[in-house]
Structure 1
Amino acid sequence: MFVQAVPSRDVRQLGINPNHWYVVACSSEINTQPVGVTLWKQDIVLYRDSEGQIHALEDRCPHRQVKLSHGKVINNTIECAYHGWRLNENGNCVEVPYLAENQKLPNCKIRRYPVIEQDGFIWLFPGDVATLQPQPMGLPEWGHLNYIATVSVIHCKAHYSYLIENLMDMYHGHLHEDYQAWAEAELRDINENENRVDAHYTAQSYYKIDKIWSISQLLFKKLRRLHPEPLDVSYIYPHWASTLGQDFKIYCLLCPISETETKAYLVHFTSLNAFWRLHKLPIWFRRFIKDSLFGAAQKLLDGLVEQDVKMIEEEQLAYLQNPERKNYELNRALVSVQRLMQSQLGNG
């Protein structure tokens, strides 16, 4: 096997292509109070109006530039905690509590971001609205009654490229020991275009969800048995998706924060499609099962995240200490991924 140097341009300094939908929060994280988030150096405030509709604005009051996320929602407006100025969902100032009769409302406006609540997450478009894509990538399994979901939050002090490379590289399985879902991964082929990289592996899976008790394999290691399964991983810029046989689907929804910080949501789905008798049960009962089993893979997923974040942050630290030192890759998928990142920023 040959050793291939990574592309010459420094991916660890790349920004993001803003003309995509990014995930900035779980739906459950946004309730009655404003919430501040950061997407690639842009501070943004999220809030719900009285009808539960999500809105996203710059997280700054145009008066003194303090964060609106410190304030509260009143009558479908967001009120600044400092002086009580209120702004509507379009970013316009609509009320100043101490405005004199001979004064007009200040003609100021802050940026409004397109935002969609879909499949359990808040998707935000930070780019040029003229290039606005109609819909985010989405998670079709989220609302499907045959899939059990688990969500783990990734927060690492590292550039997003390190996280994507980690997710695309199926050769680091020995790191995870008890948490690993597969063994003996082998890269077969790669497909790539201007928007995605698909890497196709073969592997030995530890899980087989084909009996009513199979879900317990997520909890008890002794019940697991190795068997061959296809393992497909995809970088669908700017997010990631993976399938392991017919039983598991995983997404990683990215929210890059800066050159040295990344947040993401890892969403794991366990399929119940093999249980044909389950499909004949009443809808309310199937939804009860789905909701009751939410988070069934939490220990597994959180364990994977903790171990991967440690490695990713060490990679970032090593880079900061010596950015001239080159990496050399045997996994061709990582070279393809770096090429996609560069092309999205116009450097390809």
Structure 2
Amino acid sequence: MNSNSSPIIPENTDVRTCPINPNHWYAVARSCEVKRLPYSIILWHQAIVLYRDQKGIIHALEDRCPHRQVKLSHGSVSGNDLECAYHGWRFNREGKCTFVPYLAEHQKLPSCQIRSYPVLELDGFIWLFPGDEQALKQKSLQPMGVPEWDHLNYIATVSVINCPGHYSFLIENLMDMYHGHLHNNYQAWAAAKLQNLSVEQNRIDAYYEAQSYYRIDKIWSISQLFFPALRRLHPEPLTVSYIYPHWQSTLGQDFKIYCLFCPVHSTYTRAYLIHFTSLEAFWRLHKLPIKFRRFLKNSLFGSAQKILDGLVAQDVEMIAQEQAAYLENSSRKTYELNPTIAQVQKFIREQALCT
């Protein structure tokens, strides 16, 4: 998106209608989701197709054949190009037409061009930059990344969030640790109290003091995740951070969680929630062979799936109600006591103004 053609966003714009700031990297798919066939995604109203070339390198194009405007994601990969299912036209990673099967000798290839997007594969996810490529080069912008993904001391669980609401509802939910009343036995913390709030150019950090049972210092202590009767609460610092456009949280030394955003449009948000359990406390484990530790990490992948999916389902239900209520009457006043939420809303408007 060229900044010269971007819409002007008034400073008092309703946060529930704010667009994303496209000049950031968004997580649009897991690496394992994009295999041999083209893969369709939508990022803030933009239909995009992901595909792998012969070497397995990921590419991203506008999901539209300029010939008849059908979806390229319904086609196939031919060599390093993407082939349209309708007439067999092919397009390279730059979005240029490279082949038309019925082209006559005296005819030239059409000069049509579809948009290509900067795309990277990092830490188990595919990251896409939908904004101004000049800004990308000038500022050397990089994806946030998930460094624990390949780290042998962290066990991962991933839950996909399909949320029928504007992305602001989801990030407010994640930044507000006062809604633990909703989750009962699904959450690892209780009685959160906001201690401090830090606001910088591209991030907000909210520091809470909470009660937690999530201390993984003995093998048996992992059973606390599954058996509430074994849980013993203790004080633990809880930090939640909005690192635009994504979210990150830590609870003590043993808990880390990310939410990677892919807003689809103004009333629908897709995101990936990644939960990490740390094995840092098990020092004897660190002396074992790398292959065994890798096997253990892979074997335990998804071990917190039931808990994570349960949390997501409860939050999505509430956000769906919030979105429905907003659409029914957008002028209805709401009441907020957590200062974090006011900062989040201001931050979203500021980022929208940057488009």
CA distance in 2 between partners of 1:286 and 1:105 (Å): 53
Q: Is residue 179–residue 300 contact of structure 1 (8 Å, CA) maintained in 2?
A: yes
Instruction: Give the match for residue 94 of structure 2.
Output: 90
**1:221 Cα deviation (Å)?**
2.2
Q: Is 1:188 paired with 2:188?
A: no
Instruction: Give the match for residue 183 of structure 2.
Output: 176
SS in 2 for 1:285: helix
Q: Is residue 148–residue 270 contact of structure 1 (8 Å, CA) maintained in 2?
A: yes
Instruction: Give the match for residue 57 of structure 2.
Output: 53
CA distance in 1 between partners of 2:84 and 2:190 (Å): 53
Q: 1:346 aligns with which of 324, 338, 353?
A: 353
Q: Is residue 155–residue 278 contact of structure 2 (8 Å, CA) maintained in 1?
A: yes
**1:347 Cα deviation (Å)?**
7.8
**1:77 Cα deviation (Å)?**
0.9
Amino acid aligned to 1:42: Q
CA distance in 1 between partners of 2:308 and 2:302 (Å): 9
Q: Is residue 175–residue 241 contact of structure 2 (8 Å, CA) maintained in 1?
A: yes
CA distance in 2 between partners of 1:195 and 1:134 (Å): 12
Instruction: Give the match for residue 74 of structure 1.
Output: 78
Say which is worse superposed, 61-70 or 208-217, in terms of deviation: 208-217
Q: Is residue 24–residue 39 contact of structure 1 (8 Å, CA) maintained in 2?
A: yes
- What are the equivalent positions in structure 2 for 1:24-63 lying under 5 Å apart? 24-63=28-67
Q: Is 1:100 paired with 2:104?
A: yes
Instruction: Give the match for residue 152 of structure 1.
Output: 159
Amino acid aligned to 1:233: V
Q: Is 1:141 paired with 2:145?
A: no
Instruction: Give the match for residue 211 of structure 2.
Output: 204
Instruction: Give the match for residue 267 of structure 2.
Output: 260
Q: Is 1:109 paired with 2:113?
A: yes
What is the aligned-residue identity percentage?
A: 69
Instruction: Give the match for residue 6 of structure 2.
Output: none
Q: Is 1:217 paired with 2:198?
A: no
Q: Is residue 21–residue 354 contact of structure 2 (8 Å, CA) maintained in 1?
A: no
CA distance in 1 between partners of 2:12 and 2:221 (Å): 47
Say which is worse superposed, 205-214 or 47-56, in terms of deviation: 205-214
**1:8 Cα deviation (Å)?**
5.4
Which structure has the highest helix share of the two? 2
Instruction: Give the match for residue 19 of structure 1.
Output: 23
**1:213 Cα deviation (Å)?**
2.2
- RMSD, aligned α-carbons: 1.3
SS in 2 for 1:289: helix
CA distance in 2 between partners of 1:228 and 1:66 (Å): 56
Q: 1:239 aligns with which of 241, 246, 249?
A: 246
| Gaps in structure 2 of 5+ consecutive residues | 1-10
SS in 2 for 1:310: helix
CA distance in 2 between partners of 1:191 and 1:250 (Å): 19
| Gaps in structure 1 of 5+ consecutive residues | 1-6
CA distance in 2 between partners of 1:109 and 1:213 (Å): 59
Residue-by-residue CA offset, 1:205-252 (whole Å, 9 max, x unaligned): 122100022222222222221111000000001000000000000000
Instruction: Give the match for residue 4 of structure 1.
Output: none
Residue-by-residue CA offset, 1:132-178 (whole Å, 9 max, x unaligned): 14420001101100000000000111000000000000001010112
Q: 1:316 aligns with which of 319, 323, 332?
A: 323
Amino acid aligned to 2:99: E
**1:346 Cα deviation (Å)?**
1.8
Amino acid aligned to 1:309: V
Residue-by-residue CA offset, 1:102-123 (whole Å, 9 max, x unaligned): 1111011110100000000000
Q: 1:119 aligns with which of 119, 123, 126?
A: 123
Say if 1:63 and 1:347 are closer, same or farther in 2 by CA, change over 3 A.
closer
- Runs of 4+ that moved beyond 4 A: none
Q: How many residues align?
A: 342
TM-score (norm 2): 0.94
Q: Is residue 194–residue 343 contact of structure 1 (8 Å, CA) maintained in 2?
A: no
